[in-house]
Amino acid sequence: MAAASREPSPKKPRPKPQGDDRDMEHDPNRVLIFDTTLRDGEQSPGISLNAAEKLEIAQQLARMGVDVIEAGFPIASPGDFEAVQRIAREVRGPIIAGLARANPADVERAGEAVRDADRPRIHTFVSTSDIHIEHQLQATRDDVKGLARASVAQARALVEDVEFSPMDATRADVEFTAEVVQIAIDEGATTINIPDTVGYAIPDEYRRYLQRLYELVPDLRNVVLSVHCHDDLGLAVANSFAGVLAGARQVECAVNGIGERAGNASLEEIVMLLHTRRPDIRLFTGAVTGEIARTSRLVSRLTGYPVQPNKAIVGRNAFAHESGIHQDGVLKERSTYEIMDARSVGLEDNQLVLGKHSGRHALRQALEELGFEVDGQALNVAFKKFKDVADKKKQVTAMDLEALVTDELRDQVQGYSLEWFDVEASSRRPPHATVGVRTPDGEVVQGSFTGDGPVDAIFRAINTATGIDARLREFRVDAVTGGEDALGETSVVVEVSGQSAAGQGVSTDILEAAGQAYVRALSNGVRRARIARELEPISGRAPELAAP
Ligand code: KIV
Ligand code: ZN
């Protein structure tokens, strides 16, 4: 299917988001949603999104009505820079932020990447905990004050909207953190974010920490206080909520809770907590809750990170009732055992159905309903792929179309692609596979292998054809929808020269989906290994503090 874009077309403006209260952006009870799926989330092991995939996620985040998209860490690599710049140029609505350590090169690069956004933000940070200052920065508290002062001042000269984070704040001396926060506000920071970087805080302690900061820095009332909590002890959402009760009006979170180590506070949980308990808490967000399920599926699909079945809000069992007593209650009156309606997060919204007799016009309309604008040649390619699937599958649903369109994005990087495969499988002989793989130079190379199973034989034949020693780390198969003819979706994680990378594939044929996923993972792995060789590792140590 051809590349799809979610830009609103000039003739058909994007409908106004139906969030809790989009127009009340400056209401003191409005909690801003700062999404860091593309930055902190993308730092999860094995995730390697290309620029087209990041753009697609950013467009969907805008559709869901988040207030800020942290699009990446522009100094980290040319690919990160390009993705942040494309998002800044193409995504309308949210503020677009780029992350920068507190040093001139980082701030400069972040400023350049977000410059073309309607509302650009630079987010700069430096640690205030002694553990980080001594061991990682190998600096002094005075150095940290100087770095905070200089980086916020530099960022403010580039953009009006500057966020400052004292990293590892919850393990730092609150008095020293307050001094650094005051410096950042004096230099013009407009948002102060207090990270629980290692997920160590507990809710009451975090709330008291923020209350103490308010006492020590009265100017904190003139800027937006933000919370950024990690989930190492499973408390990220509880801590974020405690922060909101203490006065924070921005929550940093990630779709499906992905992020460093155990991840970040999960966006869908924060949004639905405030939405469901609004009558009691009286706080609200501008998020369009009906877009949550689709955003979760998109992120899971493109990152290759599955959502656990019992995950709050977006897990496939989050609204399922197993016990007879519960089923009986729900049948009589939904509210007996349900505090939210599945439709309010966009679940059970798979009504749209196309079949093999549906035409180009119907496909285009269906894609538009899903938010994809596809015209001209792109529509022709999309139609061909749709027909291929519709020939094998009786009904093509909204979920199938979503999976196919997402799959198309994966081919937009220069890499290897699976041209064809043959597998001989039998219970009496080891399976044998032969594959044809197109290399980035356009040449088709062949390889064969006799493996332990048909999937193993295909994967190893791909290694033989490309000459790349990729090691399989994970392999997963899911069905996009129910039913015997469901599309199969596979996810593969490989390791290439010490770099792990993921790839996904969708097809009515599981073996084909597995082969596609493997070559994509292998392409991502080769790209990551090359970047790792070319770039200095990103460290928390500010370059100007480097030993002479
Ligand atoms: O966890 C953290 O401290 C961060 C900062 C960069 C805000 O991600
Ligand atoms: Zn973080």
Query: What is the 3-class SS of 45-72, one letter each residue?
Result: CCCCCCHHHHHHHHHHHHHCCCCEEEEE
Q: Give, as one character, the DSSP assignment of residue 265.
A: P
Q: Find tokens 């020269």 and name the residue.
A: 497
Assess whether the C-beta atom of 40 lies below 6 angstroms from ligand 1.
yes
pLDDT top residue among 387 and 180: 180
What integer is the mean pLDDT of 175-197? 98
Q: Is the pLDDT of residue 312 over 90?
A: yes
Instruction: Output the CA–CA distances (angstroms, integers) from residue 456 to 105, 228, 419, 425, 505, in the order listed.
Output: 46, 42, 18, 11, 16
Q: Is the pLDDT of residue 7 over 90?
A: no
> Using CA of residue 528, residue 532, residue 538, residue 539, what is the dihedral sign?
positive
Indicate the range of 371-375, 418-422, 544-548 predicted with least confidence. 544-548
Confidence band of 364 (pLDDT split at 50, 70, 90): confident
Provide the token pair at 396: 């093509």
Assess whether the C-beta atom of 91 lies below 6 angstroms from ligand 1.
no
What integer is the mean pLDDT of 284-303? 94
Residues 6+ apart with CB under 8 A from 240: 227, 229, 248, 251, 252, 253, 265, 270
Assess whether the C-beta atom of 167 lies below 6 angstroms from ligand 1.
yes
Assess whether the C-beta atom of 125 lies below 6 angstroms from ligand 1.
yes
What integer is the mean pLDDT of 90-107? 98
What integer is the mean pLDDT of 221-247? 98
- Cβ 38 vs Cβ 47: under 8 Å: no
pLDDT top residue among 345 and 350: 345
Q: Considering only CA atoms, which residue is closest to atom 2 of ligand 1?
A: 197
Confidence band of 81 (pLDDT split at 50, 70, 90): very high
Q: Is the pLDDT of residue 503 over 90?
A: no
Assess whether the C-beta atom of 165 lies below 6 angstroms from ligand 1.
yes
Which residue among 127, 147, 197 is best mutated to probe the pocket of ligand 1, counting the most ligand atoms within 8 A of its Cβ? Answer: 197
In this prediction, residue 48 carries a pLDDT of: 78
Residues 6+ apart with CB under 8 A from 323: none
Report the share of the chain in percent with pLDDT over 90: 63
Distance from the alpha carbon of residue 199 to the mean position of ligand 2, in angstroms: 9
> Using CA of residue 438, residue 439, residue 442, residue 448, what is the dihedral sign?
negative
Q: Establish how many alpha carbons lie within 13 A of residue 474's alpha carbon, considering only the half-sphere containing its beta carbon.
A: 18
Indicate the range of 17-31, 109-123, 216-230 predicted with least confidence. 17-31
Distance CA 490, CA 398 (A): 19
| pLDDT tens digits along 398-423 | 888 888 877 776 666 678 999 999 99
Assess whether the C-beta atom of 127 lies below 6 angstroms from ligand 1.
no
pLDDT top residue among 121 and 332: 121
Confidence band of 514 (pLDDT split at 50, 70, 90): very high
Q: Is the pLDDT of residue 540 over 70?
A: no
Confidence band of 128 (pLDDT split at 50, 70, 90): very high
For ligand 2, a single-atom ion, which residues have Cβ within 5 Å?
A: 40
Q: Give, as one character, the DSSP assignment of residue 84.
A: H
The angle, 0 to 180 degrees and rounded to 10, between the axes of the packed helices 376-392 and 398-409 is 130
In this prediction, residue 536 carries a pLDDT of: 63
Distance from the alpha carbon of residue 230 to the mean position of ligand 2, in angstroms: 6
Query: What is the 3-class SS of 103-126, one letter each residue?
Result: CHHHHHHHHHHHCCCCCEEEEEEE
Report the b/e string of 439-457 with b at 16+ CB within 10 A: eeeeeebebebebeebbbb
Q: What's the chain's average pLDDT?
A: 89
Distance from the alpha carbon of residue 43 to the mean position of ligand 2, in angstroms: 9
Provide the token pair at 534: 């070319």
Confidence band of 285 (pLDDT split at 50, 70, 90): very high
Q: Is the pLDDT of residue 15 over 50?
A: no
Assess whether the C-beta atom of 250 lies below 6 angstroms from ligand 1.
no
In this prediction, residue 378 carries a pLDDT of: 76
In this prediction, residue 425 carries a pLDDT of: 86
What integer is the mean pLDDT of 295-300? 94
Distance CA 34, CA 177 (A): 22
Indicate the range of 22-31, 178-187, 246-255, 361-370 predicted with least confidence. 22-31
Name the CA dihedral angle for 339, 234, 126, 81, rounded to a multiple of 10 degrees: -70
Confidence band of 236 (pLDDT split at 50, 70, 90): very high
Report the share of the chain in percent with pLDDT over 70: 91
Q: Find tokens 């496909």 and name the residue.
A: 363
| pLDDT tens digits along 38-77 | 999 998 887 878 898 999 999 999 999 999 999 999 999 9
Q: Considering only CA atoms, which residue is closest to atom 3 of ligand 1?
A: 197
In this prediction, residue 545 carries a pLDDT of: 58
In this prediction, residue 1 carries a pLDDT of: 44
Assess whether the C-beta atom of 226 lies below 6 angstroms from ligand 1.
no
Distance CA 434, CA 469 (A): 17
Distance CA 18, CA 258 (A): 26
What integer is the mean pLDDT of 527-537? 76
- Cβ 292 vs Cβ 314: under 8 Å: yes
Q: Is the pLDDT of residue 537 over 80?
A: no
Residue 282 CB burial class (10 angstroms; 0-12, 13-18, ≥19): exposed
In this prediction, residue 189 carries a pLDDT of: 98
Distance from the alpha carbon of residue 187 to the mean position of ligand 1, in angstroms: 20
Distance CA 317, CA 309 (A): 5
Q: Considering only CA atoms, which residue is closest to atom 4 of ligand 1?
A: 197
Assess whether the C-beta atom of 106 lies below 6 angstroms from ligand 1.
no
Strand ranges (E), 358-496? 396-397, 417-424, 432-438, 444-450, 471-479, 488-496
Provide the token pair at 115: 């410059």
Distance CA 419, CA 462 (A): 11
Nearest atom (ligand 1) to Cα of 230: 1
Distance from the alpha carbon of residue 22 to the mean position of ligand 1, in angstroms: 27
pLDDT top residue among 317 and 481: 317
Distance CA 214, CA 264 (A): 24
Distance from the alpha carbon of residue 75 to the mean position of ligand 2, in angstroms: 17
Which residue among 125, 131, 225, 240 is best mutated to probe the pocket of ligand 1, counting the most ligand atoms within 8 A of its Cβ? Answer: 125
Confidence band of 385 (pLDDT split at 50, 70, 90): confident
What is the helix (H) or strand (E) element at residue 229, kind and residue range? Answer: strand 224-229
